[in-house]
Chains A and B, each alone.
Chain A
Amino acid sequence: MGNSSVIKFTLIMTVIVAFVLALLVSGLKPIHNVNESVYNKKGILSAVSEQLGKDVNALSNQEVQDIFANQITVQALNTEGKIVSDDEISSMTNGLAKTAADVDFALEAKKPEGERLLPLYTFKAKDGKDYNIMYVRGKGLWDEIWGYITLQPDWKTIAGEAFDHKGETPGLGAEIKDNKAWFSQFTGRKLYNEKGDFQSLEIVKGGVKQPDYQVDAISGATITGKGVQEMLQRGLKYYDPYIKSKFSNQMESDTVHQMMNDTIK
């Protein structure tokens, strides 16, 4: 066979293959995008699965979208713990996002510290209570790990959590996502001590001694555990100023209450 027929064959084949694939991609792309956003949203919802009272993985795409539309609001914070307005969001993301809801927070986590935006999701449970979800991102053994930590309405105690990873070892590091017995240890742990100072959690081997602030490690996944601990310490610290401001509000309202009671007396 001559060179011309080889070239002809190659050309025809390339055109057909590229055309069919392009057609398929343009047809399936919208479904891919919906799947991706639902997958990420399920990751966030896993951190409030208890408050939601449903198995997050069993939710349909529509249910996930509905919960996000009706029960979840999102705000963007900067690393000093201040809420960022929509105008600032579009200038900080170079116009990529206009409101806190369109910000790609995974991308934000890769920016230098001062320019970063952090999400604060607020989940309105059926009983009317507000649960706030914080987002942290760090490094495991092989690759990135990230997590969502839900706080009780008192802003001090953990009410739920969900972790995920890009490529931890199945059976070892991947247990942070798969092993409910491990990650549910976080529920009920405290982020703030009695004095109201930020005290993140420790992941310890061989038995927990301070049940309020420590979590048992996964055997065989020391580095991933250390990664989780580092991620929580660094990541939750960013939220500290904002949470502190909530404390003082709470205290103020408490004192106002007290004073009013006193005057009534």
Chain B
Amino acid sequence: MADIIEITEKEPAIAFGKEEKKLLTDPINENNPITVQVLGVCSALAVTTLLNKAIVMGIAVMLVTAFSNLFTSLLRNYIPKQIRMIVQLVIIAFLVTVVELFLKAYNYPIWKELSVFIGLIITNCIVMGRLEAFAMANKPWRSFLDGLGNGFGYAVILVIVAFIRELFGKGSLFNYKIIGPTAEYALNTSQIGWLHWYVPNNLMILAPAAMFVLGVLIWLQRTKYKKLVDIS
């Protein structure tokens, strides 16, 4: 694994140098968990019909990856090898439950809309993948940053996909009408949209569209970064 960087004991526990910055920024583009590592796709598709759903989901995943990486890294020398996987899963499931309880208390409508997909963060391969690949072998602070970075990389893709799907599927952003006719599909009819001739394309809201949008995003990314191209 290229991203496991051994650090010497002399370094302070919490430092923020070049390498730490790389941990944060790498997963946003060249090592993006969704478009490059193909992890955690399931929820990327289901929650991206509306921008605010995608943002809440992105933040939830960021918190879970960051803190599960932190806790696993803190416990890495104590976790018995035989039950490693179950322990990791319990840590993740615990954090997801905490996130769910808070979301249910502070934003009930969004909780209601995300329904089972909050629970599915547990099996979001990004979280599990980072624990195995990074947190089990690195110190807490670096693991935390790595988790934060990967969660953020995930959230960025989620927001981009949701932006495209909501804008062209409903003609709105954050439920505010932007383009298309004002009367139809408008959740807030007092807003006047431009491009009145545009009829919102319902296909964008349906699940397959998320697949197309992601496919095209990967296409664009690989056109720009030639080294990511699949040779097979």
Interface range for B: 20 to 34
Q: How long is the Cα–Cα vector from A10 to B203 in the complex, in angstroms?
A: 48
Answer whether residue A153 sits at the interface, using C-beta atoms and an 8 A cutoff. Answer: no
Contact of A32 among B104, B185, B202, B205 (CB under 8 A): B104
Q: Which B residues are CB-close (under 8 A) to A21?
A: 94, 97-98, 101
* A221 nearest CB across to chain B (Å): 10
Contact of A1 among B81, B101, B102 (CB under 8 A): B81
Answer whether residue A35 sits at the interface, using C-beta atoms and an 8 A cutoff. Answer: yes
Q: Which of A38, A170, A220 has the most chain B CB atoms inside 10 A of its CB?
A: A170
Q: Which B residues are CB-close (under 8 A) to A254?
A: none
Q: How long is the Cα–Cα vector from A1 to B98 in the complex, in angstroms?
A: 31
Q: How long is the Cα–Cα vector from A39 to B105 in the complex, in angstroms?
A: 12
Answer whether residue B65 sits at the interface, using C-beta atoms and an 8 A cutoff. Answer: no
Answer whether residue B196 sits at the interface, using C-beta atoms and an 8 A cutoff. Answer: no
| B183:A171 contact, CB within 8 angstroms | no
| A170:B184 contact, CB within 8 angstroms | no
| B101:A6 contact, CB within 8 angstroms | no
| A17:B108 contact, CB within 8 angstroms | no
* A9 touching B78 in the complex, CB below 8 Å, given contacts A24-B98, A180-B187, A220-B202: yes
Q: Which B residues are CB-close (under 8 A) to A180?
A: 186-187, 189
| B49:A6 contact, CB within 8 angstroms | no
Q: Which B residues are CB-close (under 8 A) to A171?
A: 49, 169-170, 202-206
* A150 nearest CB across to chain B (Å): 19
| A6:B80 contact, CB within 8 angstroms | yes
Contact of A181 among B81, B104, B109, B184 (CB under 8 A): B184
Answer whether residue B21 sits at the interface, using C-beta atoms and an 8 A cutoff. Answer: no
Answer whether residue A264 sits at the interface, using C-beta atoms and an 8 A cutoff. Answer: no
Answer whether residue A13 sits at the interface, using C-beta atoms and an 8 A cutoff. Answer: yes
Looking across the interface, which residue of chain A has its beta carbon closest to that of B205? A171
| A32:B83 contact, CB within 8 angstroms | no
Looking across the interface, which residue of chain A has its beta carbon closest to that of B200? A171
| A31:B83 contact, CB within 8 angstroms | no
Q: How long is the Cα–Cα vector from A25 to B79 in the complex, in angstroms?
A: 27
Looking across the interface, which residue of chain B has its beta carbon closest to that of A21? B97
Answer whether residue B112 sits at the interface, using C-beta atoms and an 8 A cutoff. Answer: yes
Residues 2 to 53 of chain B near chain A (Cβ within 8 Å):
49
Q: How long is the Cα–Cα vector from A20 to B102 in the complex, in angstroms?
A: 13
| B83:A10 contact, CB within 8 angstroms | yes
Q: Which A residues are CB-close (under 8 A) to B169?
A: 171
Q: Which B residues are CB-close (under 8 A) to A87?
A: none
Looking across the interface, which residue of chain B has its beta carbon closest to that of A8? B80
Q: How long is the Cα–Cα vector from A69 to B26 in the complex, in angstroms?
A: 55
Q: How long is the Cα–Cα vector from A180 to B185 in the complex, in angstroms?
A: 7
Q: How long is the Cα–Cα vector from A24 to B95 in the complex, in angstroms?
A: 12
Known pairs A6-B82, A20-B98, A21-B94; list 20 more (Cβ under 8 Å).
Answer: A1-B80, A6-B80, A6-B83, A9-B87, A10-B83, A13-B87, A20-B94, A28-B102, A28-B105, A32-B101, A32-B108, A35-B104, A39-B108, A39-B109, A171-B204, A171-B206, A172-B206, A180-B186, A181-B183, A181-B186
Task: List residues of A whose CB falls within 8 A of some B CB.
Answer: 1, 5-6, 9-10, 13, 17, 20-21, 24-25, 28, 31-32, 35-36, 38-39, 57, 169-172, 178-181, 220
5 nearest CB pairs, A to B: A171-B205, A35-B108, A31-B105, A6-B80, A28-B105
